[in-house]
Structure 1
Amino acid sequence: MRKINRALAVTAGALVLSGLLPLQSAAADGAPPKLWTFCINGWSGSLFDPAEKPVTVPGGEDAGSGCWLNYRTADDGKTWIGTDLELTLAAESVAASGYTPQQLARMLLVRTNYSATEVGKDWTGRPWTVTPDGALKLTIPACTNNCTGVFLQISGAPREQQAVLKAQLKATSPGYDPTPLPMSFDYFGRAGTQPVTFGASGTFVPVTPGRLLDTRNGTGAPAAKVGGGRSANVRIAGRAGAPAQGVTAVVLNVTATNPTMDSHVIAYPHGSARPTASNLNFAAGQTISNQVTVPVGADGTVDLYNNAGATDLIADISGYYVAGDGGQRYTSVSPKRLLDTRDPWLTPGTGTRPFGPVGGGRSISLNVAKTHPDAKAVTLNVTATNPTTDSHVIAYPHGSARPTASNLNFAAGQTIPNQVTVPVGADGTVDLYNNAGSVDLIADISGYYSATGSKFVPTGPTRVLDTRQTPGKRLGEHEELYIQPNSWKYGIPPFGVTGVTMNVTATGGTSDSHLSVFPEPSCYHFPGMWPEYSNLNFTAGQTIPNAVTGAVPTLNSCGGNTWGDSVGFYNHSGTVDVIADVSGYFVED
C-alpha cells in the first residue's frame, strides 16, 4: 500500500467517500469481489479505509491527496481483479455547485494511473462528459497490467460557499454487479485563496495587422497625446475584420512613442477595475512596442492607461478570440529557433536568399509549413539586432499586401525583441519586412494555430512571479528559477492546461543580458543546459517587458507531492529581477 505515496494529487477542495459497499460479481468460485479503497490525507498522511474515516483535503492549496481503488477476491485478499469503472456526478449536484457543467468539469479534475491499454501514460487525465441532463460522467479503464490498484486523484478549485456534490461509482465490465457505489464531495473553500473566475473558452481568428489607434493622427481617438493618469479607449468590435458581437479577447501590438517621461501602459477591458500589472514600460523619448492579449469589455472596447507624463499610443490588431469553435486552436511547442540571419545554418526555409542582414525596403520569408504544415497562424518571438539606423519590422502573411502596421521598432545599434502573432500565407510562409538601413533578424517559434489544439481562456493580469518579493532573490548569471503558473492559487486549473500567455518584465539588470522562458517537464533540473533562444533582451538598468506565450508541460509525478510541471526562467548575464503576469491560459477540452 505504500505505492500511493509516489504519485499524489495536487488538490484544492474537500472530498468525502461514503457508503463503501461490496459489489457482486459472477466469479467462478462464487466469492464476490470486494471494492477495497484506501485514501490518504495529504502526501505524508497515513493510509486508511474511508469506510471508517472520511477523507478531508485542505481547501485552496496545492496539497497532495488521493485514493487507491480496486477489487480483490474475498478469500485470500491477494488476487486483484481489474474492471472498468464509471464515475457520475448527479445533475442536481452540478446545479447546486453554482457553476455550469462545463465550468465544474474543469474544476473537478480527475486523473488515475495507467491501465493495460495506456502503458507509459502514468497519471492519465480523465475528461468529463456533460450529459444531456447536465450531469458529469467519466470512465476509468481497468488496471490489469501488473497493477495493484487504481490511484484516483481528484482536484477541486476553492470556492467561498460549501456544496455537497453527490456522485456514484460503479463497475461496467461484464460479470460485475453494476449496483452504484454512492460517493459525495464535500466541497468548500478556504479564506485567502485566489477566487476562480472563468472566462469563456474560445478560439482564435487571425487577421492581417490593422491599425485601430494612432493618437498622432486621430485614428480611433482624438489626435492628442494620452496624459498621465488618463486612458485611451480603443474600439475592437466591428473593426479591422472583428465582428460586432462575440469577441472575448483581442491580440494587440501596442506602441508608445514620443513620451515626455518614463512611464508605463496598462491594457484592460473597459468597464473593469484597472489592474496594477503593466503591459508596456518606456523611457522618455523612447519608441517601443509590446504584444498584449487582453479581454474585451462588454461594450466591445479596451482601455490603454498611461501612468505618467504624456505619450502617443498606437494599437494594431493581430487577431481576436471568439467563444466556441469559430476560430483556430492553439498548439504550444518547445521554443525553437527558425531564423537567424547571422547564422548560415539558419537561412530562410524558402532558400531564396543567402544569410546576412536584411536591407532597407527588403523582406525575408520564413517557411512555417516546413515544420508545421497545418498552421494557419504562428506565434514568434522576433528579435532585431545590429541595426544600422532607426527602423521598424512588419510581419505579415506572404502573398498578401504589406500592411502599414509595424510589429517591432528599434534604434540604431539596439537589440530588442517583440512577440508577433501573424497569419500564415497560402504557401505556408510569413514575411518579415525591414523599413530602413539593414538589420539582423532572429525568429523563435513558441506555438501555432490550426484546426486542432487547445482553446483560450482570458483571465486578465494575474501576477505569478516577482523576484523582488518572492522568493526575494534576484535571478543570477546562468541561473534558472521555476514556477507553476497553472495552480489554483492563481485561479488556473492545475491540470489540462497546455500553455499560458504572460507579460514578462526584466528590471534592474546589472549587465546587458537576455531571458529565456521554457517548459520544464523533468523532475530533475540540470542548470547549465542553457536555451539557444531568447524571449527578452535588456541592457543594464533597463526596465523592459515582452509578451511570452509559453508551453506548460504535462504533469509528471516525481514522488510525494512533487511534480515535474514547471515553467523555467533563465538569465544569461549579471543579476536581474523578473516579473511575470499571466493574462490567460490554453486548456484542453
Structure 2
Amino acid sequence: MRVLRGAVATAVTLAAVLTGLPTTAASAAGSAAAAQAGADGTYRPVGPQRLLDTRSGLGAPAGALPDRRVLNLQVTARGGVPANGVSAVVLNVTVTAPTKGGYLTLYPAESTQPTASNLNFSAGKTIANSVTVPIGAGGRVAILHRGGSTHVIADVVGYYLSAASTDMGGEYYTVEPGRILDSRDPDFGGPLPGGWMVTVPVDFGEEGNAHLRALAVNVTAVSPQTGGYLTAWNGENDPPNTSTLNYGKGKIVPNMAIVPVAPCPWDYPCAGLPSISIYNGSSGGTHILIDLFGVYDDGTFAEGLRFRPLSPTRVADTRIGLGAPSAIGPNSTATITAGEPVSTPDTRALALNVTAVQPTAGTYLSVWPAGQDRPVVSTLNPAPGETVPNAAITEISPAYGFNVYNRSGSTHLVVDVAGTFEYLYPAARNPADRAAEGRLPGGAEPRPAPAPVAKRLG
C-alpha cells in the first residue's frame, strides 16, 4: 500500500463549503414535515449490481439490440431494488460494439416515448452514462435504441422511494461543486496503475460522518495509457463486477456516479472516515479526477431535498434555439432556465442529461447554478466532432437558472431534465433563507480530509 500525500485534502475543504444553518424552529418543522411526507422522494443506494447484459442474456435475450427496438427491462424485485414502493431507479447504462452511431432513450415502460436521449455513441465505441428513470408498468423501464445494432449493459446503483413505501431512505443535500481528487497533482504520485484502487475519504464532522450514505460525484479518466474501465464503489470487499466508465487510450472520459460510502479501511491516514473507492480495471495507468457536488444522508437530518421523477423533458437545444439562441462559443457561458412546470417554487436542484453536439475543438463544459461563481470542475470533456452526454445534478437559482460554460471552440448543447429535487419543509421564501434550504445542518459541515490512499489489488 502506498499513501498519497499532498494538496488533495485542501481541495476538499475549498470544494465542499456548505452555507446556511437551519434554526431550531425550522428543524422541528422539518422533522414534522418529513414524518408527514413519509419515504416519498428519498434515496437508497445499492450495489452496484448488474441487471442487463445482452452479450450474455442477462435481463433480456442474448444478442445485440437492433435499430428501433424497445427493450423493457425489469428493475423492481432485482438487484436489491424492492418489488414495490419505488418511483425511480438510478442505472449506469453502457453500450458496447455498436455497428453505427446512435443513441438510447430510457423512459417508463408502456408510456409515451419522449423526445430526448440519454446516451449518444459512435460506431465501435464503448461508452457509459448514468441514467435516472421513473419506474413504469410492471416495475420496468423501456430502453429505445436508434442506429444499427448494439449490445447494452445496465447496472443499478440505487433507487428513489415513492409514498407507498414502508421503508425510508435518505435525502439529498447540495454542496458547492469542487474537486476532491486530481491525480495530476504532483504530490499524488502519478497515474493510478492498472489493477490498483484509490480510496478517497471525506470528513463532514462527527454528526455528518455518522449519517452520510452516498456521494454524488463526477468521475473522469484523463489520458489513460490503454483502453479500459474504472469501477466506483464503497471500497468494501473486492470491486463489484460492474463498470462506472469505459475509455479508450488517450481519451478524456467522464461519468456521473452516485457512490455509497463506507468507513475508510486503512489505519492511516483516514481510518473510519466515510470514503469511496475507484478501481482501475485496465492494464495501464490513468489519471483520475473526482468532483463532488452533493451528498445523501440516511434520513436523520430532515432538512434535505426529495426527488420528483419526470419523463425526460428537453429544456435546451441550441440547434433550434431552445434554451439558448445558438451554439456556445469559446470561453463563454449560456444560462438555461428550467421554469414551470418543470420547476416549482420548491425546486432547488435538477437531475440533468447534458449533451455536447459536434464541438469544433476539444473542450470541457461545466454546469453550476446561475448567480454563483464558476467552480473548478468539469461535467463533459468532448473531443472535436463528438456528440457525447453526461448526467449531472445542479442547483438552480431562485429564477430557475443554471449555467453551462464551454472552454474552447464552439459546441451545440442539448439538455434534458430527468427529475427535480424539492424542498418540502416550511421556510420563508426570501433569498437569504432559500440559500440554506437543502444544505446540511451546521454540525455536519465539512472538515479538511486526509489524503487518498492507493493500494494494489491481487
Aligned to 1:422: 259
From 360, 376, 394, the equivalent of 1:550 is 394
Identity value in percent: 39
Q: Distance in 1 between matches of 2:318 and 2:174?
A: 26
From 464, 467, 474, the equivalent of 2:318 is 467
Q: Distance in 1 between matches of 2:252 and 2:342?
A: 35
2:197 maps to a residue whose letter is S
From 77, 83, 92, the equivalent of 1:238 is 77
2:386 maps to a residue whose letter is Q
1:419 maps to a residue whose letter is M
**How many correspondences in the alignment?**
372
1:473 maps to a residue whose letter is S
Q: Distance in 2 between matches of 1:308 and 1:521?
A: 39
* 1:572 maps to 2:411: no
Aligned-pair distance for 1:246?
A: 1.2
From 441, 444, 448, the equivalent of 2:295 is 448
Q: Distance in 2 between matches of 1:332 and 1:214?
A: 33
Q: Distance in 2 between matches of 1:499 and 1:332?
A: 8
Q: Is the 8 A contact 1:203 1:328 kept in 2?
A: yes
Aligned-pair distance for 1:344?
A: 3.7
RMSD of aligned C-alpha atoms?
2.2
User: After the TM superposition, which residues 508-587 of structure 1 pair with which residues of structure 2 at under 5 Å, given as runs?
Assistant: 508-521=358-371, 531-553=375-397, 555=398, 563=399, 566-587=401-422
TM-score, normalised with respect to structure 2: 0.77
Structure 1 ranges of 4+ moved more than 6 A: none
Helix, strand or coil at the partner of 2:55 = coil
User: After the TM superposition, which residues 345-360 of structure 1 pair with which residues of structure 2 at under 5 Å, given as runs?
Assistant: 354-360=188-194
Aligned-pair distance for 1:399?
A: 2.2
* 1:387 maps to 2:387: no
2:279 maps to a residue whose letter is Y
Which structure has more relative contact order (CA 8 Å, sep 6+)? It is 2
User: After the TM superposition, which residues 73-92 of structure 1 pair with which residues of structure 2 at under 5 Å, given as runs?
Assistant: none
Q: Is the 8 A contact 2:42 2:306 kept in 1?
A: yes
1:281 maps to a residue whose letter is N
Aligned to 1:507: 357
Q: Distance in 1 between matches of 2:202 and 2:374?
A: 25
Aligned to 2:15: none
Of 279-288 and 464-473, deviating more is 464-473
* Change over 3 Å in CA distance of 1:247–1:365 after alignment to 2: same
Q: Distance in 2 between matches of 1:391 and 1:397?
A: 20
* 1:375 maps to 2:217: no
Q: Distance in 2 between matches of 1:273 and 1:515?
A: 31
User: After the TM superposition, which residues 124-139 of structure 1 pair with which residues of structure 2 at under 5 Å, given as runs?
Assistant: none
* 1:265 maps to 2:104: yes
Q: Is the 8 A contact 1:208 1:397 kept in 2?
A: no
Q: Distance in 2 between matches of 1:476 and 1:235?
A: 42
* 1:281 maps to 2:120: yes
From 333, 340, 361, the equivalent of 1:480 is 333
Aligned-pair distance for 1:272?
A: 0.5
Q: Distance in 1 between matches of 2:422 and 2:256?
A: 21
Q: Is the 8 A contact 1:267 1:279 kept in 2?
A: yes
Deviations 1:120-145 (A, max 9, x none): xxxxxx99x99xxx9xxxxxxxxxxx
Q: Distance in 2 between matches of 1:496 and 1:344?
A: 43
Aligned-pair distance for 1:201?
A: 4.2
Q: Is the 8 A contact 2:47 2:80 kept in 1?
A: no
Aligned-pair distance for 1:370?
A: 5.2
Q: Is the 8 A contact 1:214 1:312 kept in 2?
A: yes
Aligned to 1:491: 342
Aligned-pair distance for 1:521?
A: 3.2
2:220 maps to a residue whose letter is T
Helix, strand or coil at the partner of 1:299 = helix
Q: Distance in 1 between matches of 2:202 and 2:159?
A: 21
Helix, strand or coil at the partner of 1:570 = strand
Q: Distance in 2 between matches of 1:505 and 1:491?
A: 19
1:502 maps to a residue whose letter is L
Q: Is the 8 A contact 2:314 2:417 kept in 1?
A: yes
Helix, strand or coil at the partner of 1:252 = strand
Q: Is the 8 A contact 2:351 2:417 kept in 1?
A: yes
Q: Distance in 1 between matches of 2:204 and 2:193?
A: 25
1:375 maps to a residue whose letter is L
Q: Distance in 2 between matches of 1:445 and 1:530?
A: 14
2:289 maps to a residue whose letter is I
Aligned-pair distance for 1:298?
A: 2.8
> Rg bigger for which structure?
1
Aligned to 2:246: 409
Aligned to 1:458: 309
Unaligned runs of 5+ in 2: 1-22, 24-28, 265-273, 425-458
Aligned to 1:435: 281
Q: Distance in 1 between matches of 2:248 and 2:281?
A: 12
Unaligned runs of 5+ in 1: 1-117, 119-125, 135-199, 346-353, 523-528, 556-562
Q: Is the 8 A contact 1:316 1:405 kept in 2?
A: yes
Aligned-pair distance for 1:530?
A: 5.1
Aligned to 1:14: none
Aligned to 2:176: 334
